[in-house]
Structure 1
Amino acid sequence: METAAIAVIGTLLGSVITHLFQRRTTEREAALNRAEQLRQERISAYSAFASALVDFRRGQNDRWHRAREAPGSTVAEGARIDSYRLRSSAHQALIRVQLVCDDREALELATAAFEVTNCMHEAPDEEDRSRRSEQARETLSEFIGAAAPGVR
């Protein structure tokens, strides 16, 4: 009788230990899957933001040049309207970055890159426009540098 009781207790103990190990393994796998999903979402959001900001910067440069070449013309007005569309796309991409990024420095750089790009068309002369354009490019590069370690 004693042997049977020991066998039952041993079987139950083995089942409980197996269950605990399986649960811990399942939880670990779920955490790894969540981390990988977030990593992929960050890569997607950061890439979309960089792409949208590059397009917005180009649009802002175009807007500035068209306004200087032919103020009030249909071409200048079209460039202005296009810059609004590009700003909207860049802002949407920035919001997505804000939703998935937990790095304060990267978030500040993303916001700064957007703001610098947004003000490019206000440059009073070619030298300032060029400086602003370069500053926008550099700030975007700094964002990428700050965000990259979080997706590696």
Structure 2
Amino acid sequence: MDAALIAVVGTLLGVVATHWFQGRATERTAALARTEQLRQERIATYSAFAGAVVDYRHSQNDRWFRARLEPGSEEAEESRHASYRQRTVARQALFRVQLVCDDPRTRQLAETAFELTHCMHEATDDGDRTARSEQAKEALAVFISAAAPGVR
């Protein structure tokens, strides 16, 4: 009788231990899956933001040149409207960065890259436009450098 009781108690202890270890392994696997999913989301979001800001910078340069070459022309107006569309795409990408990024400094760098790109069309001459374009380009590079460790 004692042997049977010891066998039952041993079996129950084995079941409880197995259940506990499997629960911990499941939690660990779920946490790793969530971390990887967030990493993948950040890679996609940061890449989309960088692409949108590059396209926005290009449209701002085009807008500036067309406004200087033929102010008020149909091409200048179309370029202005194209820059508005690109601004909307870039702003939407910025919102996605703000949603998935948990680092306040990185979010601020993204906002700075967007704002510097946004102000490019206000340049007073070609030297100012070139300087603003380079500042926007550099701000985006700083954002990418700051965001990169979060996606590794």
TM-score interval for Structure 1 and Structure 2 normalised by the shorter chain: over 0.9
Name the structure 2 match of 1:61. Answer: 61
Match of 2:95 in 1: 95
Instruction: Supply the AA of the counterpart residue of 1:28.
Output: R
Single out whichever of 100-109 and 48-57 deviates more from structure 2.
100-109
What are the equivalent positions in structure 2 for 1:1-152 lying under 5 Å apart? 1-152=1-152
CA distance in 2, matches of 1:68, 1:9: 88
Q: TM-score, normalised by structure 1?
A: 0.99
Report the Cα distance in structure 2 between the residues aligned to 1:58 and 1:50, rounded to whole angstroms.
12
Displacement, 1:122? 0.5
SS in 2 for 1:71: coil
Aligned-pair Cα RMSD in Å: 0.4
How many Å apart are 1:59 and its aligned residue?
Answer: 0.2
The CA distance in 2 between the partners of 1:141 and 1:151, in whole Å, is: 15
What's the TM-score, normalizing by structure 2? Answer: 0.99
Deviation at residue 35 of structure 1 after TM alignment: 0.3
**CA distance in structure 2 between the aligned counterparts of 1:132 and 1:102, rounded to whole angstroms:** 28
Letter in 2 for 1:144: I
> Percent of pairs identical after alignment?
66
d(CA) in 1 for partners of 2:89, 2:45: 12
* Runs of 4+ in structure 1 over 3 Å off: none
TM-superposed CA distance for 1:103, in Å, is: 1.3
**d(CA) in 2 for partners of 1:90 and 1:13?**
59
Partner deviation per Cα, 1:105-144 (whole Å, 9 max, x = no partner): 1111000000000000001111111100000000000000
Q: Any gaps of 5 or more consecutive residues in structure 2?
A: none
Task: Give the residue type in structure 2 aligned to 1:14.
Answer: G
Is the partner of 2:77 in helix, strand or coil? helix
1:47 partner amino acid = S
3-state DSSP of counterpart to 1:37:
helix
